Chain A
Amino acid sequence: MSDHDYRPKSKVGQWFNDRLPLLTLANHLTDYPTPKNLNYWWTFGGILTFCLITQIVTGLTLAMHYIAHADMAFESVEHIMRDVNYGWLIRYIHANGASMFFLAVYIHIFRSLFYGSYKSPREIIWILGIIIYLLMMAAAFMGYVLPWGQMSFWGATVITNLFSAIPLVGEGIVTWLWGGYSVDNPTLTRFFTLHYLIPFLILGLVVLHIWALHVPGNNNPVGIDIKKPSKDTVPFHPYIVIKDGFALLMFMIVFAFFVFYAPNILGHADNYIEANPMVTPAHIVPEWYLLPFYAILRSVPDKLLGVVAMLSAILILAVLPWLDTSKIRSAVFRPLYKQFYWILVADVLILGYVGAMPAEGLYLLIARVATAYYFLHFLVILPVLGFKEKTLPVPLSITEPVLGGSPNLAAARNKESKIE
């Protein structure tokens, strides 16, 4: 089972493998010992890989028909929707695929938060994940600009203008980003170039993310270190492959529903109006997946501090492994953390909701409270909790809770199934 003693059976295989050990890699991937108690929250890694590939394939196809020019972009998108064979299908998969990608990545991130997957020895996996997430946001934002509708144009204007908050050099940076004195054709062409580039950077980082994962192996719902391979593990193929496949198919049903029956529900109607620098839309809102950060940005009265708060909200995640002082990974054995975890989930959902609302009155107040709580969670609650919390006894191996060993473990198992 171990990588070292693998040898291909055929002579040709051996000859090839001695020169380029691809077969060893394939063997490692299929045999890769995986904890057998992984629940469905662990299937989103595979789902995300599917999302990335889908976006790249549909994106390449769209790029063959799209024209990155301020005067022609909107029309070329309509050309894709009307005259390109199945262009409507490819574009709707790509546009809704972005939303599905973020839906999956948020579940993936929050799974990690719940089960403490970011903790030692998996910090590098986690940080790579945060970089991937940042790049995803950049790619999604630039992608949304490409159809050159009203929300594209004004979204680009608002977001790029954030850089003007930087003291002294801010204005210069904005002009440099735009390639002129307003969002215009040079902005569109560079956004297209970067939108094309970023997915491949993400692909590279995903390889590193998985590589780093395969060093310590998967975390698991119990959150304990396990021996590999052992009775606690199953080989990746066929056990995890089929389970991931099943979850992926369910995910695809949801995906298909959006693509075929509600393809525009996640977008904004204004983006079907061609960009017009002379007319500002009544409400400029980003796509749903960026709303929590948009709410944080707007909740701070000062522009520069707002930008700092928004960036910190993301970057704070990168130092999470050191902010969380608890030695116990899984929230299953952390009764207090579990409650704060769900409050954080609610907090982020609330931020998303107020992000879509006008920044005034009660909405603004709620956004400010929710923003304060967001930082409180990471900067105060998590570090303190590690010292104060009385955790539940943790089992020694996952075979025990799975088989329902001692009474203590049966309790742990009950708790776990509640989450699943």
Chain B
Amino acid sequence: MKNLFKLFSIIILIIASNSYSFAAEKVEYLKTDWSFKGLFGKFDRASLQRGYQVYTEVCASCHSMKYLSYRNLAEPGGPEFSEAQAKAIAASFEVTDGPNSDGEMFTRPGKLSDKFVMPYDNVKAAQAANGGAYPPDMSVLVKARGGGVDYIYSLLQGYEEAPSNVSLDDGVYYNKYMYGNKIRMAAPLSDGLVEYGDGTSATLEQMSKDVTTFLMWSAEPHLEARHQMGFKAIVYLIILTVLVYFSMKKIWSRVESEV
């Protein structure tokens, strides 16, 4: 029995280490306490709301978030804006709709059911406006990068003067956490860039943390439900396993053998 547990843990270690197999190429990311990690991890509501503010005031001018709808902002487990707030947010965007009965496209204020309005009509337009580099869609961005939230959090704070031996083209910036250190995005955040409604001081660090938290939620909108269900499921399984173990012992006590 003990050996079986050992084997399980060894195999899990091997599997886990495989997915980190490019560790040699990694730099140490900046660390911070994420409220959504761990068995009971939950999002910090206020941080999500601030994060949305950073996204919409800063990131959204270049980065789309095409898999999210405005209704998501009011759903449980997310920033949990009130429905009125979410409606107001949606209405502040112009959405192209149509064709109407005259066959014309028209614009109208956004509704809760609308997807987040994209900054560019298409990928080509986005590239044209950004010197050929496409600002990636942010819906699942933290899951699409090896270092996850730590990587995004670090990258936002990783802008530096390029070392003297690195030459940068126009429109290329130096970031110590970027793969290859060269990034086409100028430092997006700086101290005091946004003004938080709740009085939190908008330091670079604070904004990075808030917007990264928001991106984690946008990539995993059901994370809280998953953690809650996971705990219940595992506790249930453990209790059942113990009961079945004793039933098994009882049943096998009828034969002279070991289990």
**B46-54, B85-93, B142-150, B181-189: which one contacts chain A?**
B142-150
Are A264 and B143 closer than 8 Å at their CB atoms? yes
Contact B252–A257 (Cβ < 8 Å): no
Which one of B102-110, B191-199, B224-232 contacts A?
B224-232
Mask of A399-415 contacts with B, CB within 8 angstroms, 1/0: 00011000000000000
C-alpha gap A62/B148 in the complex (Å): 26
What residues on A are CB-neighbors of B255 within 8 Å? 36, 234, 239
Tier of interface size on chain B: 35 or more
Asked, given contacts A260-B233, A273-B144, whether A249 binds B252 with beta carbons under 8 Å apart, the answer is: no
For B27, what are the chain A residues with a Cβ–Cβ distance below 8 Å?
Answer: none
Residue among A40, A79, A269 with the highest chain B CB neighbour number at 10 A: A269
Contact with B along A14-51 (1 / 0, CB 8 A): 00000000000000000000001100100000000000
Q: Is the CB of B244 within 8 A of A246?
A: yes
Q: Which of A170-178, A193-201, A208-216, A352-360 contacts B (4 or more CB under 8 A)?
A: A352-360
CB within 8 Å of B: which of A344-379?
349, 352-353, 356-357
B222 touches A420 (CB 8 A): no
A75 and B67 contacting across the interface, CB-CB below 8 Å: yes
Among the interface residues B14, B140, B221, which one has the most CB atoms of the partner chain A within 10 A? B140
Assess the B67–A260 pair: CB atoms within 8 A. Answer: no
The verdict on A236 contacting chain B, using a C-beta distance below 8 Å, is: no
Knowing A99-B15, A272-B143, A352-B18, say if A243 contacts B226 (CB, 8 Å): no
Which listed residue, B3, B14, B238, touches A349 by the CB 8 Å rule?
Answer: B14
Q: Which residue of B lies closest to A419 (CB)?
A: B3
Q: Does A206 contact B (CB under 8 A)?
A: no
Q: Which of these, A36, A245, A268, A269, contacts B244 with CB under 8 Å?
A: A245
30 A–B contact pairs at CB < 8 A? A36-B257, A37-B257, A82-B67, A82-B222, A107-B7, A234-B255, A234-B257, A243-B248, A250-B4, A250-B8, A252-B237, A253-B237, A253-B238, A254-B12, A256-B230, A259-B230, A260-B226, A260-B231, A260-B233, A261-B39, A266-B19, A267-B19, A269-B145, A269-B146, A269-B148, A272-B140, A272-B143, A402-B258, A420-B3, A420-B4
Q: Is B167 an interface residue (CB 8 A)?
A: no
A270-B144 in contact (CB<8A)? yes
Other than the given A239-B255, A249-B240, A253-B237, 10 more pairs (CB < 8 A) read A37-B257, A82-B68, A107-B7, A254-B8, A259-B230, A269-B145, A353-B14, A353-B21, A402-B258, A420-B3
Q: Is the interface of A mostly helix, strand, loop or mixed?
A: helix
- Is A1 on the interface with B (CB-CB < 8 A)? no
In Å, the complex CA distance between A105 and B231 comes to 27
Determine the distance from Cα of A232 to Cα of B72 in the docked complex, in whole angstroms: 62
Is the beta-carbon distance between B15 and A266 smaller than 8 angstroms? yes
User: Contacts A99-B15, A272-B143: A402 and B222 contacting too (C-beta < 8 A)?
Assistant: no
Residues on the A chain within 8 Å of B247, using CB: 242
CA distance A118 to B193 in the complex (A): 68
In the complex, chain A residues whose CB is within 8 Å of the CB of B136: 273
Shortest CB-to-CB span from A143 to chain B, Å, is 18
Q: Is A341 an interface residue (CB 8 A)?
A: no
Q: How far is the CB of A174 from chain B (nearest CB, A)?
A: 28
Please report the C-alpha to C-alpha distance between residue A125 and residue B165 in the assembled complex, in whole angstroms. Answer: 64
Q: Is B166 an interface residue (CB 8 A)?
A: no
A283 in complex: contacting residue of B11, B22, B231, CB < 8 Å: B22
| B10, closest chain A residue (CB) | A349
Q: Which residues of B contact A37 (CB under 8 A)?
A: 257-258
A291 within 8 A of B: yes
Within the complex, the shortest CB–CB distance from A275 to chain B, in Å, comes to 12
Within the complex, the shortest CB–CB distance from B80 to chain A, in Å, comes to 16
Is the pair A256, B237 in contact by a Cβ cutoff of 8 Å? Answer: yes
The chain A residue with its CB closest to the CB of B4 is A40
Taking CB atoms, residues of chain B closer than 8 Å to A283 are 22
Asked if A288 CB lies within 8 Å of chain B CBs, one says: yes
Interface hits, B202-246 → A, CB 8 Å: 219-222, 226-227, 229-231, 233-234, 237-238, 240-241, 244-245
**Interface residue B1 (Cβ < 8 Å from any Cβ of A):** yes
- Provide the residues of chain B in CB contact with A78, threshold 8 Å: 67, 139-140
Are B241 and A242 in touch, CB under 8 angstroms?
A: no
Inter-chain CA distance A403–B244, complex, in Å, is 25
Interface string of A380-420 (1 = CB under 8 A from B): 00000000000000000000001100000000000000011
The minimal Cβ–Cβ distance linking B94 to chain A, given in whole angstroms, is: 23
A239 touches B251 (CB 8 A): yes
CA distance A324 to B24 in the complex (A): 41
Q: Which residue of A lies closest to B256 (CB)?
A: A403
A252 contact set on B, CB distance < 8 A: 237
Residues on B with beta carbons closer than 8 Å to the beta carbon of A207: none
- Nearest Cβ in chain A — how far from B185, in angstroms? 17
- Cβ of A88 within 8 Å of any chain B Cβ, yes or no, is yes
Chain B residue nearest to A79 (CB atoms) is: B67
